[in-house]
Chain A
C-alpha cells in the first residue's frame, strides 16, 4: 500500500493541535483582558460634552455639593442632571459673556435642553436606585470616583456586574455616615472592620439578600 502520510505528518499535526490549544487559551485571556480593559469599561475615558463642565472647578474648587445639581438623588432612582436654569442661577451673574458658556445661554434663550453625553450609564436591564444607596450610607465617590479631580468627567469605576457585586457581597467597608455621603475626601470607617460590621446592622443591610437577582434586575 502506498503511504498516505509523510514522515513529518505526525509532527505537523501535533504542532497544529498545540498551536490551536495555545491560540484558544490566548484568545480567552485576550477576551477577558479586553472586557476588563477601559476599551469596554470606559474608565478614565473623557467624554466630550456640549459645554466643558469642570467638576474639578465646581466641586473641588468652589465646593459645591453634589446635590446642588443632582437634586433628586436622595428621593428618586435617578440622580438627574441639572436643568439649564440651575446653571444660570450662578452664570447669569458670573462669567456672563464667556464663549464657553454660550450653549448654556442659548439653551435658556431658545428653551431647548442641553444634550449632555452620559458618562455613568448602566444598561437598561439594570434597575439602579440612587435613593436607597444614599440612604444606606454609600458615598457618591464609591461609584463615581473623585470627580473633584476631573477637569472633564470620565467614569471613575468600571460599571461591570463584578464591581457592583463586590460591594453587595461585602458592603461594610464601603459604608459611611449618612451625612458624609457627598464628601469627596472622607476616610473613617474603612480601616476598622469592626465598625463596618456594626454599621451594617445599624443600616439594616442584609448582605445575604443583596446578591439576589431581583435586587437589581426585573
Chain B
C-alpha cells in the first residue's frame, strides 16, 4: 500500500478494505505458520538405544560456586528439557535447589553470549587463536611474568591439572580466585586450630539439637540441597540467633533476635555453658540468657552441634570449633576432610593481591574465566581502573556483561549442560559432567580455552578423559565416582588460644549483607526464572529491597516501597524499603549484589539512612503476609496432636467411592524451608511462562505452585511460616461449577482438569477459586519465544497461548506416562512410580504424592497423621492437596 506521506491511515472505504485484506492475509500467514511444521525429519543413521518419543536420562552435574550439583538430565530428541536430582548420589540423594532447577534456562538463555568479541566487535575464534599464538611466544620469553589467570572457585581436577601445566611451563604465572560468597573464614579457622585448613562438613542429620549462631544452613547456597536433605531426615531441634530472618530461623524452635555483634558474646556464653575454661564471660540480656540456657541444656543432653555463619571472623569460628570439640561432635555431627575447593596460592587474599599487582603494572596479560570481577567485587577495590592497566585482557563467560566489555577479548563459554568437565560435589565426591546437547552456539569449553592457550588441540572430552583413566563408564552411569569423597580426617587441636576480636560496634544502624536468595551474588541476573521467583520471606521479585525492622519503620515513618538512601563513607545505596517482621531493630539487610557498589565487607555499622521521598514499586507476589486471625498454617503442640479442624461435613450426596488410583498430595509444613526449588521445577516441567516485573506487581505471575510466606504473632518477633500452594484438586471444585464452557472438568482419578481448547477466558474459575491457584494468560507470553526457549519447552506439556487459564495438573503428563506404562505391562501403578516435579525437587521431601485409595501408599500414611488438615476447610471444597501442621518445638 503506497502512501504519499506518512500519517494515520485515512479510513475511506478503499483503504479500509485494503487494511482488512492485509490483516486477513497476515492471519492466514500466521495460521500457515502454525501448520508449517508438517515435515518429519528422521535420522540418517539412528543411534542405538534411542527410541523416538521416549526421553533419555543422563547423570551429570551443574556447577554452582565451584561445587558440582548432581542432577539427572532428561533429554528428549537430543536436548535437555528437565533436570532432576540424582537419587543415588551420596551427597544429595536426589535433592535439588532452585539454582539447580534454573540451570536449564541458563543453557537456553537467548541472552547468552554467542560470538567472540574483540574490543566490543564480533570476531572469530580463529582471530583469537592467532592473537594467543603471538602472545604465548611473549609469555614464553618472560617465563610467565605478568601473566595471571583469574577464575571463580574451582574443584575440577581437570582444570587444576591444566592450571598446573600452565604453571610448569610458565613459572612466573599466578592463579587467582574470586568467589564473593565463600568459606574463607572457616578455612582459616581450621588452619589455625588444627594446623592446616580443613573442610568442615556438618552432618545435620546426626545431632539431636543444633545451635546456630546466624548460620543459615538450610538457606540458599551450594550446600543447600545436601544440608536440607540431611536435616530433613530427623529434623533436629534448632536454636537460632540471628539479626535477620532466614529459612533456618523459620524452622528454629527458639529464635533469638540479636544484632550480629552479639553473636560473639553468645558464643562465649555457650562455651562457658558447656564447661570450657579460659573463655571470657560476658553480660547477657535476659532473653539472651534464657536462650543460651535452653541451648546449653539441649546440647548437654549429648549429641549436639554448634554452627556459626560463614561470614564471621576466623577467630570466632575457632571458638566454635573448640565448643564442638568439647561437645564431642567431632567425627559425628561435625566431620572434617581436606578442602574440597582448591585454594589459590594467595588463599583468601587472592583477589586483593591480583588487584594490587594490576595497579602496580605488574600484570601484562590477564585471563578471566567464569568470574565477573567488575560486577561482583567491592567498588572500593576499583577493579576497573586496575584492569585498564593490563595490556591484554581476556574474559570468558556465559554473558557479555560489564567485565566482558572492559576486556580486550570476550570469549563465549559453554554451559555445563553442553560440556565435558568434572568437579566435586559439596561432600567432596567427584563427578564427571557429561553434555546433554551439542553446543548450538559458537562457544568453547574453558578447558579448551586453556588447552589452546598452551598450544594444544584436544577436545574437552579428551581433556577430561585424560584425568580419569579408570572407572570412566561407571562414573558416567552413576553420575559420580564411587568412594571418591576425601577421607574423613580426625583432627587434633594444636592451638587452643582464641584471640577474640573486640566485639564490633553496633553504633547506629548496622547493615548486614546476605546472599540474595534468588540471585546469589548477582550472577543470575539474566535468568528470568530466578528473577521472577519470589525471594522467600520477602516475596519480592525482579530486584532486591532493603529490609528494615518494624521498630525502625515506626521510628522513621517508613512504609513498604519508600525509597531509602543508605550512606557509608563515599558509598551510597538507593533501594526500596521492606518492613521485615522479626528483623533486629537496628539492623538493615541488603543482598550481596547490592553491596558491591556500596560496602566492602559483609557487615557495616554506622550507616546513615534517609528517605529520599520517592517510592518504588516492589514487584511483590504476596503483598499481605501477616496471617492475622487466620490459620492457613496451623501449629500443634506435639507430633501426636491433631491439627485444628473446622470441617463442615455437610453434603447432600453420599460420599463418592473412588477407583484406584485416585491421586492426592500431602505437604508437610514442618519440612518446608521455602527454598522455591519446587516452584522453579514446576516452571521447567510445565512450560510456565515468565511475565516480568510490571505484571508481577499486578499479581499476574504465572507460577502454578507458589510458596506463601506468613508471619504469625506480633511483628517484632513473629513466627515465620512457608506454605507451598499448588492446585488443591478439589473434589468439590468451585471452578468446575463456575466455568460456563465446561473447560474445568473432573477426571475419574480425582484430578481437576483444565481443557485449554474449551477455555474462552471468562476467568470465572479463578474468581470462584478460594485458593487463587488458577493463573490466566493475560497476554501472549509464549508466542514469540526465541528458538532456544522453544527448544527448552517440555514437549509432553501444552504451551498455552493468550486467553486461557492454566493451573497445576499434578503433573498429568507423568501420570499419563505411568498409567500407559502400567497398562502395557499389565500391572497396577506402583506407589512412588509417579513423582511430580515439585515432589522430586524438594530437598526436604516435604511433598508426597500418590494414590489415596491405597492405605499403604506414602501419601495415605501422611494423610492419616493427626496433623493433617485442609486449607480453607470452611469452603467445603474437599481438596486433594492437604497439609501437615507444624509442630511447636
| Chain A residues near B (Cβ < 8 Å) | 72, 75-78, 80-86, 107-108, 111-118, 121, 124-125, 127, 129, 131-132, 135-136, 204, 208-209, 212-214, 217-218
Contact = CB atoms under 8 A, between A and B. Distances in A.
Given A214-B812, A218-B797, A77 B46 contact: no
B55 to A, nearest CB: 10
B41 A107 contact: no
Nearest to B747: A214
B45 A83 contact: yes
B501 interface: no
Interface of B: 38-46, 51-54, 745, 747-748, 751, 753, 755-757, 796-798, 809, 812-813, 816, 820, 823-824, 826
10 contacts: A75-B51, A76-B52, A83-B43, A85-B44, A112-B44, A114-B42, A118-B38, A131-B820, A212-B753, A217-B757
Contacts of B45: 83-85, 111
Nearest to A75: B51
Contact of A83 (B39, B44, B54, B798): B44
A116 B812 contact: no
Contact of A213 (B39, B753, B820): B753
B interface secondary structure, majority: loop
Contacts, number: 104
Nearest to A69: B42
A81 B42 contact: yes
Nearest to A80: B52
Contact of A218 (B46, B52, B53, B812): B812
A125 B757 contact: yes
B44 A108 contact: yes
A112 B23 CA distance: 37
A84 B54 contact: no
Given A81-B40, A132-B823, A213-B753, 18 more contacts: A72-B51, A72-B52, A78-B52, A81-B42, A83-B42, A83-B43, A84-B45, A86-B46, A108-B44, A117-B39, A127-B796, A129-B820, A131-B820, A204-B826, A208-B748, A213-B745, A213-B747, A213-B755
Nearest to A216: B816
A91 to B, nearest CB: 14
Given A124-B798, A204-B823, A213-B745, A218 B41 contact: no
A218 B795 CA distance: 11
B17 to A, nearest CB: 22
A132 B747 CA distance: 19
A129 B54 CA distance: 11
Contacts of B816: 127, 129, 214, 218
Contacts of B826: 204
Contacts of A218: 796-798, 809, 812-813, 816
Report, nearest first, the 3 A-B pairs whose CB atoms are least far apart: A78-B53, A76-B53, A83-B43
Contact of B41 (A72, A113, A204): A113
A118 B41 CA distance: 10
A111 B47 CA distance: 13
B751 A214 contact: yes
A108 B51 CA distance: 20
A117 B42 contact: no
A108 B41 CA distance: 13
B569 to A, nearest CB: 57
Nearest to A129: B820
A117 B747 CA distance: 36
A162 B44 CA distance: 36
Nearest to A111: B44
B755 A80 contact: no
A81 B820 CA distance: 22
B39 A84 contact: no
A78 B51 CA distance: 9
A121 B54 contact: no
Contact of A113 (B42, B51, B54): B42
B43 A117 contact: no
Nearest to A74: B824
A139 B420 CA distance: 45
Contact of A84 (B43, B748, B798): B43
B42 A116 contact: yes
Contacts of A212: 745, 747-748, 753
